[in-house]
Amino acid sequence: MKKNDNVIVLTLGCSKNVVDSEKLIGMLSANGFTLTEDIRKAKTCIINTCGFIKPAVEENLQVVLDVVNRKIQGELERVIVSGCMVERFKESLINEFPEVDLFVGVESAEQIVRFLKPDDDFRINLIGGRQLLTPNHYAYLKISEGCNRECSFCAIPKIRGLLRSKPIEELLDETKKLSEKGVKELIIISQDTSSYGVDLYGKPMLIPLLEELTKVEGIEWIRLMYLYPAGLPEGLIEFVQNEPKMCKYFDIPLQHISDRILKSMRRGTTKKRTIELIEKIRTKIPNAVIRTTLIVGYPGETEQEFKELMQFISDYELDRVGVFTYFREDGTYAFPLGDTVPEDIKNLRREEILKLQSQISLRKNNALVGKKLKVLIDEKKNGVFAGRTEFDAPEVDNLVYVRAQKHKVRVGDFVEAIIARAKHYDLYGEVC
């Protein structure tokens, strides 16, 4: 192996890509490569890409171009491009970037390592060999790959393939290893968490999986993300209600509320059933937080249908809301519908929802002033600790800024904090 074989891995896109990169980095280290976070020190650069929607693709192409230019200037010896963008556009990427040494799709860690060390013996280092890119006290657990659903706007099934659930034993092993590394919060991710197990076991197996994961010592919080609304496993809400380690947190992407649009989106649910689900969660677990994502500007979305969505948000006051404008993506079922809502209208609608939601969020945060909350400390900035409650996922939800005058607090600690002040998306408090 050549002396300076520093490798840098650039991870773009979602938390599922983060897990893929963590496995790749673990395998590179196990095979003797040195990882660097400084591209000037690297000889090999691997870009793990996202290819989900147009703006992400444009951003990723820019990163590839920058890195290829570094190679042309002799700063890098090898460039490898992997991930979702390659799954979608491999042929055109090969033509556009002949300087790139290897293009590989998703889940390609072994292929990449074998390419970088063709002669040397290869060490597999699978289970637990992840090198976390998140702070050591929380980690994502990707329980399956791919998706069997056919949401009309979505290209992911074409990128990541059909649903492939990972065996419970394998996930349990991975979780034990993560706990040994100091992980306290386990964030369950996939494309469609509700469907876990239907491929491998012929029936939904999310609850049996969670029953095993909650037994792992050291894991104190388990958070569920990407729950498909029309397929929530029977008994899941009650399981979350009764299991102390389960965060009272439901990330359920709803996308819209109008029955005509939900039908066109092939979401397999209705306004009535969506409202029933929200009410059931709130009845069983009154303090539960519901996060969702919505799409505005879907082909044919009328002003009336948008108003219906606004009314729904206003009436049901979801706790955390992300809003995307619709992107017409090649190869999706919605592609033939065209892109009928003008961009400025899409952006206006997105702004209107965010404005309404910020008022809802402020009201809910103000109601927490004076309350004592359990906070997991993620980082320390300028003497102030920033953390999250069980009601907030990393990167996307609210932060809690806490001062710890008299207490010794470290990153990764759980603390009790009294909330003194609130803003739209952040809370401020004191460790008690």
* Residues near ligand SF4 (CB under 6 A): 147, 149, 151, 154, 156-157, 191-192, 228
Instruction: List the one residue out of 43, 50, 44 whose CA is nearest residue 18.
Output: 50
3-state SS, residue 63? helix
Closest distance between ligand SF4 and the C-beta of residue 183, in Å? Answer: 25
Is 183 or 252 the residue whose CB approaches ligand SF4 more closely?
A: 252
The tokens describing 276, both together, are 């029933």
Closest distance between ligand SF4 and the C-beta of residue 93, in Å? Answer: 22
Closest distance between ligand SF4 and the C-beta of residue 265, in Å? Answer: 9
> Which contacts of 1-4 are long-range, i.e. CB under 8 A and separated by 24 or more positions?
1/32, 1/117, 1/120, 2/43, 4/43
- Positive or negative, the CA dihedral 110, 114, 115, 117 is positive
Closest distance between ligand SF4 and the C-beta of residue 144, in Å? Answer: 11
Distances (CA, A) of 400 to 144, 150, 419, 420: 31, 37, 9, 11
Is 68 or 189 the residue whose CB approaches ligand SF4 more closely?
A: 189
Is 75 or 339 the residue whose CB approaches ligand SF4 more closely?
A: 339
Closest distance between ligand SF4 and the C-beta of residue 200, in Å? Answer: 17
Is 28 or 155 the residue whose CB approaches ligand SF4 more closely?
A: 155
Distance CA 297, CA 350 (A): 9
Using left for φ > 0, alpha for ψ between -120 and 50, and beta otherwise, residue 246 falls in beta
Is 327 or 385 the residue whose CB approaches ligand SF4 more closely?
A: 327
Helices and strands per DSSP (H, E), number in the chain = 12, 18
Distance CA 18, CA 401 (A): 25
Closest distance between ligand SF4 and the C-beta of residue 157, in Å? Answer: 5
Closest distance between ligand SF4 and the C-beta of residue 225, in Å? Answer: 12
Phi/psi for 38 (5° steps) reads -110, 110
Is 208 or 268 the residue whose CB approaches ligand SF4 more closely?
A: 268
Closest distance between ligand SF4 and the C-beta of residue 215, in Å? Answer: 29
Is 153 or 312 the residue whose CB approaches ligand SF4 more closely?
A: 153
Query: Do residues 253 and 290 make contact, with C-beta atoms less than 8 angstroms apart?
Result: no
Is 129 or 157 the residue whose CB approaches ligand SF4 more closely?
A: 157
3-state SS, residue 379? strand
How far out from the chain centre does Cα 429 lie? 27
Rg for the chain (alpha carbons), in Å? 22
Closest distance between ligand SF4 and the C-beta of residue 231, in Å? Answer: 9
Cβ neighbours around 267 below 10 Å, total: 22
Distance CA 285, CA 237 (A): 8
Is 83 or 157 the residue whose CB approaches ligand SF4 more closely?
A: 157
